[in-house]
Structure 1
Amino acid sequence: IHKEIYIKDRRETLQYAGVHDLTDISRTESEPTETEQWGEEGGAVRIVTTTAFTEPQLVDADELADEVRRLRDEGPGEAPAAPEPAAAESDTVEAELEKPEPAPVADVADDEPAEVRPAETEDPEETADPEPEVSLPESEPEPESPELQALFASLREAPEPEPQPKPAEKSADPVAEAEAAEAAGSPVAVAVASPGTAAHLEADPFDVRDRLLLPIENRTLRSVKRQLLDLQNRVLEDLRIAGVGDWNPEPAMFTAAFSDDIAGLVREAVVAGVTGAAEITGTMTPQPPAPATSDAVSDFVDGLLRGLRNAHGDAATPGAGARKVSSAVSKVFRAWRTDEAERRLRAAARGAYHRGVVAGLGSLGVSMVVAVESGTPCDECPARDGLAWAVGDAPPPGTVMPPALASCACTVVPAS
C-alpha cells in the first residue's frame, strides 16, 4: 500500500513537471530523468556554460608600417612563406591530394590544324599528267604591200563634214505667216499647239480661277435658289387657277426673277478674269474692260422654261389630274435647286472669267493665248487639240471659248 501511494505521489510530481509517460518503476527509483532533476532543483531554466571570452590583440601602427616596408624591400620575386594550414583543414587537403589528376588536355593553340583533304572523285592512278606547254616561236609580221599602205592612209584621213542646210526659222507671228502662204498660193496648215506651249506662269491658272470665282458663284447661287422656290409657288398657283391643260409659263416673269443675279455674276466674273490675268503673269492688274452684253440670263431662263414645258406636256395627258401635273412641275424646280442651277451658273461665270482673262492679257501686251485642258475636254473646246489664237480674234473655227459645255473645266493662258 505504501508503495502504491509512493508511485501515485511520484506520478503527480512528474505530471506537474511535464512528464506524462511513466512506464519503468525501477528507472524512476534509481535513475531520475533530466526533467526530474530540473524539478528537484526547483528551477525551470537551465544554465549552459559558454566558452571564455578572448580579448582581441591590438595592432601597433609602427609594427604594421615596418612589416609593409620589409615586404617592399624583399621584392616581387621573394614570396613570403605560406602559413601552415590549420589542423581543421588537414583532412580537406588530404582529400584533395588523394583525388586522381585529370587527363592532360592538348593545347589547341600549339597543335597545327589537321589538313582536310577533299574526297577524290577520280583514281589518282588514272589521272593523266598535265601535258607540258610548248612555246611556239613568234612569227615575224609580214611586210605590208604598198597598195595596202595606201588604203590605210586614205582611211586615216578624216573627211570634212558636208555643210547641212539650216532649218527655216519659224515666224513669230502665225497670222502673218498664214497671210504670206495664202498670197504665195500654197496651202495653209492650221497650227496645232500642245498644252506644253503655254508660257511660263507665276501661279496655277486653275487655282487662281477657282479662288476668284467661288465666292461669286456661291453668293449668286443662294439668291437664285430663293428665286426658284418663289417661282415654284407662283407656278403651282397658276396651275390651280388656269387648269391643267391651259397653263403656259410667262418668260417675262422668269427673266425678271433672275436678271439681276445672273447679270451681276457675269460682271464680277469678267473683273475676276482681268485680276487672274495679272496674277498668272505676275504683273499689275490692268483696267477692266467695259461691260459687254451677255446671253447668260437668256440661256438660263430658256433652259428652265424648256424643262417646265416638257414636264407639263408629258404629265398633262387626257384624264390626268392636277396633282400629277403639279408633281411633275415641282420635280423640275427641285432638280434645278439641287444641281442644274449650280452647273449653269458655274459655266456662265467661267465663260465671263475667260473673256476677262483674254482682255486683261491683251492689255498687258500678250498677243497669243492657248487653251489648256483639265480632265477630258469636249469636242468644241480648243484645249482638246491645244489650239492657240490671237487675243483680238475669236477662237479657232469649230471651237468656242471655254467652257464649251457646263461640265468643261478648261481655262485660257498666254501662249509662248
Structure 2
Amino acid sequence: MAGSLRPEDVTAKSFKSGWRGYDTGAVDAFLREVFATLTSLQNENEQFRDRLRRLGDRDLHAEFDQVSAEVGELLQSARETAEGMRFRASVDAEQIVGEAHDDAIRVRQDAWNEGTALLEAGQEEANALVDRAKRDSLAIISDAERDAHRIATRARKDADEAIRRAKLQADQLIVDARSRREELVRQGEAEMAAAQERVAVLMQRRDELLTEIESVQSKINELRAELEERRAEIGKARAAGTSSVKVLPGPVAVGDGETSRTSDVRHGDGKTSRTSEDWHESEDTVRIVRPPKRLKTPTGEIDAEAMAAEVRRLRRPPEPKQPEPAVETVETVETEPAPEVPAAPETHDARPVGDDTSGTPAGIDELFARLRSEPETAPKSDQGSQEAPVHQEPSAQPEPTAPLVLATDPFELRDRLLLPITNKTLRTLKRGLTEAQNIALDELRIQETEWKPDVDSLEARVADDLEELLRRGVSAGWSGAERLLEREFEQGDVQIESSAGHDFATAIVDAVRNALDMAGEGPRRRAAAISRVYRAWRVDEAERQVRSLAIGAYHDGLIGAFEQAGVQRVQWVVSGRGCVTCRAMAEAGPVEPGEAFASDMKRPPAHESCECTLFPV
C-alpha cells in the first residue's frame, strides 16, 4: 500500500476539519516536504533500474561458464568420495556381522544358564509356598470350625429367644383378641338388646295403632247403622203422608255429622224440643238441617296398614315452634223460622233424605282430625233439652313448622361426601405413621434409654394432611348444603385455624410415653411398646380421629352455607337412639345457625363417636 503512494496523492490528499484540529499551514508545509522527498526517491529508483539492466546483459554469460566449471569439479569429487565410502562400509559390515554372531551365541548360552537357574529357584519357591499354604489352610479350617461352632451356638440361643418372645407376643395377641372379641360380643349383645327393645316398642305401638284403627272402624260402622236407621224412619214418615219435610242448608264446615244435623218434630203444644224459636207450621212437620257438605268418602273396607302408616305420620312429633294461641270455633246450628206454608211437603228445596249423600258421616276424616288436634270429646246434649245443641269444632292448632323437603337423606349425603376425603387422608396418615415408627425405632437403637419422642417432628409430618382434611371437609359441607337446599351459591373463603395436627401428634406422643413407662428398661421391650402404639393408631385410633375431624369440618361448612343462604333455624338430628348428650341437643329445639344448642355445643360431633347432623327447618 505504501509503494502505491505517489507524489500526486500527497498533494491531492484532503482532511476533514475539526474543532481544535491541527494547524492547516504546518500540515501543508509538511505535505510539500513529503512530496519533494518522494519525488527525489522515485528519480533515484529509476536511475538504479536503468543501471541494473545495463550491467546484467554484459556479465551473464561469463558467470554461467564459471558456475558450470565449478559444478563439474564438485560432481567429480563427490563421485570419488562415494566410492571410498562404499568400500569402507562393506568392510565394516562384514566385521560387524561377525561380532554380532559371536555375541548372539554368547547371549544365548547366558540366557539358557540364567533360565535354568530361575526355573530351579521358582520350583523351590513354589514347593515352599505349597507347604506354607497347606499349613495356613489347616489353621484357617480350624479357626473356621471354631467360629462356626460359636456362631451356631449363638444363633441357636437367639432363635430360642426369638421363639420365646414370639410365643409371648402370640399369647398376648391371643389375650388381646379374646378381650376384643368379648368386647365386640358385649357391644353386639347390647346393640341387639337395644334393637330388640326398639322392635318390641314398635310392635307394641303397632298393636296400639291397630286397636285404635279397629275402634275407629267399629265407630264408623255404628255411625253407618245409625244413619240407615234414621233414613228408614224418615222414609216411613214420608210414606205415611202425615208430615211435611223441609230441608234447610247447614253450615259448610268440617264437623261431626251427628251434632250438625237436627231432626225435630213439632208437637201439639206448639213448641219444639231442639230449638228456641217457634215454628209456625202445621202439625207433624219435620225440620231437617242439612249437614255440612263433605267430600265423598269410600264406604268399603279400610286398609289397616295404610291407616297405620298415616297414623304414624300424624303421630310424629312436629318440629318445635313458638306456640300460638289456639283458636276455638264454636258454631251453632242454623235455624230459620218456618214461613207459613201449606201442609203439603215443599218441593223447592226438598229432596229424599235417603238420597242425600252429603249427610254421610266422614269417619276417616274425623279420625284424622282428632289425631291432628286431639281435642276433648264434646259432651252429648240431652235429647230433652230445650236449646239447640252446640257443636264444638276441633281446636284449630297452629300448623307445625315443617322442615324443608329434603331430596336426600342428610346422613347418607354426609357419609357419601366425606368418605373419599377421609379415605385419602387415612392413606397418607398411615404412611406417615409408618415412617415415623421406623424413624423412632432407628433412633431408639442408637440412643437407647436417652431417646424421647418428639412432638414437633410428628406434628410436621401430619399437620398438612389434617389441614387438607379440614379444608376439604368444609367444602363438602357447602356441597351438602347446596343439595339439601336444592340451590347453588358461591362458597365463601375457607379459613382453617385449627390445632388438629398438634393435638393429633400430642396424643400419639403421650401414648408412646405411657407405653415406654410401662415397658421397662429393655431395648426390645421399649421397641415392642412403641410398635404397639403406632400399630393401634394405624389400625383404629387414627380412623376415629380423622372421622371426628371430618364431621366437625363438614358441619362448619354446613353452618356457613346455611348462614349465607338465609336459613333462619337449624335442628339437631340424632342418629339412631343417640346418647344422653345428643338427645339433649335435639330436645333443645331449633336455633339460629352458629348458635349453641346446649352446653355451648354449636354443631356435631358432640363427642368422638357422635354421628348426629343438622338440617334446616
Deviation at 1:218, TM superposition (A): 0.8
Change (3 A) 1:153 1:314: closer
User: What secondary structure is seen at the aligned counterpart in 2 of 1:346?
Assistant: helix
**1:219 equivalenced with 2:444 (yes/no):** no
Amino acid corresponding to residue 287 of structure 1 in structure 2: Q
TM-score (norm 2): 0.36
Q: Tell me how far apart the structure 1 counterparts of residues 542 and 475 of structure 2 sit (CA, whole Å).
A: 22
Deviation at 1:379, TM superposition (A): 3.8
User: What secondary structure is seen at the aligned counterpart in 1 of 2:497?
Assistant: coil
Structure 2 partner of 1:339: 540
Structure 2 partner of 1:269: 473
Across the aligned residues of Structure 1 and Structure 2, the Cα RMSD in angstroms comes to 3.2
Structure 1 partner of 2:575: 374
Change (3 A) 1:282 1:155: same
Q: Tell me how far apart the structure 2 counterparts of residues 203 and 164 of structure 1 sit (CA, whole Å).
A: 35
Structure 2 partner of 1:281: 485
Amino acid corresponding to residue 155 of structure 1 in structure 2: S
Structure 1 partner of 2:235: none
Structure 1 partner of 2:388: 158
Residues 371-404 of structure 1 show CA distances to partners (whole Å, capped at 9, x for unaligned) of 2111343344355536322114234335352112
Amino acid corresponding to residue 305 of structure 1 in structure 2: V
Kindly indicate whether the alpha-carbon contact (under 8 Å) linking 1:367 and 1:390 is maintained by their aligned counterparts in 2: yes
Deviation at 1:162, TM superposition (A): 7.9
Q: Tell me how far apart the structure 2 counterparts of residues 323 and 367 of structure 1 sit (CA, whole Å).
A: 60
Structure 2 partner of 1:176: none
Amino acid corresponding to residue 301 of structure 1 in structure 2: A
Tell me the number of residue pairs that the alignment of Structure 1 and Structure 2 aligns.
243
Residues 249-279 of structure 1 show CA distances to partners (whole Å, capped at 9, x for unaligned) of 1111011000110000100110110010010
User: What secondary structure is seen at the aligned counterpart in 2 of 1:371?
Assistant: strand
User: What secondary structure is seen at the aligned counterpart in 2 of 1:155?
Assistant: coil
**1:305 equivalenced with 2:506 (yes/no):** no
Structure 1 partner of 2:459: 255
Deviation at 1:314, TM superposition (A): 1.0
Amino acid corresponding to residue 209 of structure 1 in structure 2: R
Change (3 A) 1:243 1:379: farther
Kindly indicate whether the alpha-carbon contact (under 8 Å) linking 1:275 and 1:285 is maintained by their aligned counterparts in 2: no
User: What secondary structure is seen at the aligned counterpart in 2 of 1:412?
Assistant: strand
Structure 2 partner of 1:394: 596
Structure 1 residue runs without a partner (length 5+): 1-143, 173-196
Kindly indicate whether the alpha-carbon contact (under 8 Å) linking 2:463 and 2:500 is maintained by their aligned counterparts in 1: no
| Equivalent residue runs for 1:57-76 within 5 Å | none
Deviation at 1:241, TM superposition (A): 2.6
Q: Tell me how far apart the structure 2 counterparts of residues 153 and 315 of structure 1 sit (CA, whole Å).
A: 92
| Equivalent residue runs for 1:13-412 within 5 Å | 155-160=385-390, 198-244=403-449, 246-316=450-520, 320-381=521-582, 383-385=585-587, 387-399=589-601, 401-412=603-614
Residues 273-318 of structure 1 show CA distances to partners (whole Å, capped at 9, x for unaligned) of 00100101111143234313123222322221221111111112xx
Percent identity over the alignment?
A: 36
Q: Tell me how far apart the structure 1 counterparts of residues 600 and 572 of structure 2 sit (CA, whole Å).
A: 14
Amino acid corresponding to residue 448 of structure 2 in structure 1: G
Structure 1 partner of 2:205: none
User: What secondary structure is seen at the aligned counterpart in 1 of 2:591?
Assistant: strand
Q: Tell me how far apart the structure 2 counterparts of residues 270 and 221 of structure 1 sit (CA, whole Å).
A: 17
Deviation at 1:366, TM superposition (A): 0.3
Structure 2 partner of 1:54: none
Change (3 A) 1:287 1:160: same
Q: Tell me how far apart the structure 2 counterparts of residues 412 and 149 of structure 1 sit (CA, whole Å).
A: 63
Structure 1 partner of 2:206: none
Kindly indicate whether the alpha-carbon contact (under 8 Å) linking 1:377 and 1:383 is maintained by their aligned counterparts in 2: no
User: What secondary structure is seen at the aligned counterpart in 1 of 2:567?
Assistant: coil
Change (3 A) 1:162 1:343: closer
Kindly indicate whether the alpha-carbon contact (under 8 Å) linking 1:213 and 1:269 is maintained by their aligned counterparts in 2: yes
- By relative contact order (CA 8 Å, sep 6+), the higher-ranking structure is 1
Change (3 A) 1:298 1:198: farther
Kindly indicate whether the alpha-carbon contact (under 8 Å) linking 2:572 and 2:585 is maintained by their aligned counterparts in 1: yes
Structure 2 partner of 1:79: none
TM-score (norm 1): 0.52
Q: Tell me how far apart the structure 2 counterparts of residues 337 and 376 of structure 1 sit (CA, whole Å).
A: 30
User: What secondary structure is seen at the aligned counterpart in 1 of 2:554?
Assistant: helix
Change (3 A) 1:232 1:149: closer
User: What secondary structure is seen at the aligned counterpart in 2 of 1:413?
Assistant: strand
Change (3 A) 1:380 1:160: closer
Kindly indicate whether the alpha-carbon contact (under 8 Å) linking 2:594 and 2:602 is maintained by their aligned counterparts in 1: no
Greater shift in the superposed pair: 343-352 or 199-208: 199-208
Q: Tell me how far apart the structure 2 counterparts of residues 164 and 277 of structure 1 sit (CA, whole Å).
A: 39
Q: Tell me how far apart the structure 1 counterparts of residues 469 and 415 of structure 2 sit (CA, whole Å).
A: 14
Deviation at 1:198, TM superposition (A): 4.2
Q: Tell me how far apart the structure 1 counterparts of residues 405 and 453 of structure 2 sit (CA, whole Å).
A: 51
Kindly indicate whether the alpha-carbon contact (under 8 Å) linking 2:571 and 2:586 is maintained by their aligned counterparts in 1: no
Greater shift in the superposed pair: 258-267 or 204-213: 204-213
Amino acid corresponding to residue 477 of structure 2 in structure 1: G
Change (3 A) 1:301 1:383: same
Amino acid corresponding to residue 270 of structure 1 in structure 2: V
Amino acid corresponding to residue 385 of structure 2 in structure 1: L
User: What secondary structure is seen at the aligned counterpart in 2 of 1:259?
Assistant: helix
Kindly indicate whether the alpha-carbon contact (under 8 Å) linking 1:243 and 1:322 is maintained by their aligned counterparts in 2: yes
Amino acid corresponding to residue 440 of structure 2 in structure 1: V
Kindly indicate whether the alpha-carbon contact (under 8 Å) linking 1:198 and 1:370 is maintained by their aligned counterparts in 2: no
Q: Tell me how far apart the structure 1 counterparts of residues 273 and 553 of structure 2 sit (CA, whole Å).
A: 79
Deviation at 1:334, TM superposition (A): 0.5
Kindly indicate whether the alpha-carbon contact (under 8 Å) linking 2:474 and 2:494 is maintained by their aligned counterparts in 1: no
Amino acid corresponding to residue 157 of structure 1 in structure 2: E
Change (3 A) 1:344 1:159: same
Kindly indicate whether the alpha-carbon contact (under 8 Å) linking 1:274 and 1:288 is maintained by their aligned counterparts in 2: no
Change (3 A) 1:286 1:370: farther
User: What secondary structure is seen at the aligned counterpart in 2 of 1:276?
Assistant: helix
Amino acid corresponding to residue 604 of structure 2 in structure 1: P
Residues 140-190 of structure 1 show CA distances to partners (whole Å, capped at 9, x for unaligned) of xxxx998x99899962531446899987x7999xxxxxxxxxxxxxxxxxx
Q: Tell me how far apart the structure 2 counterparts of residues 324 and 215 of structure 1 sit (CA, whole Å).
A: 38
| Over 6 Å off, 4+ runs | 148-153, 162-167, 169-172
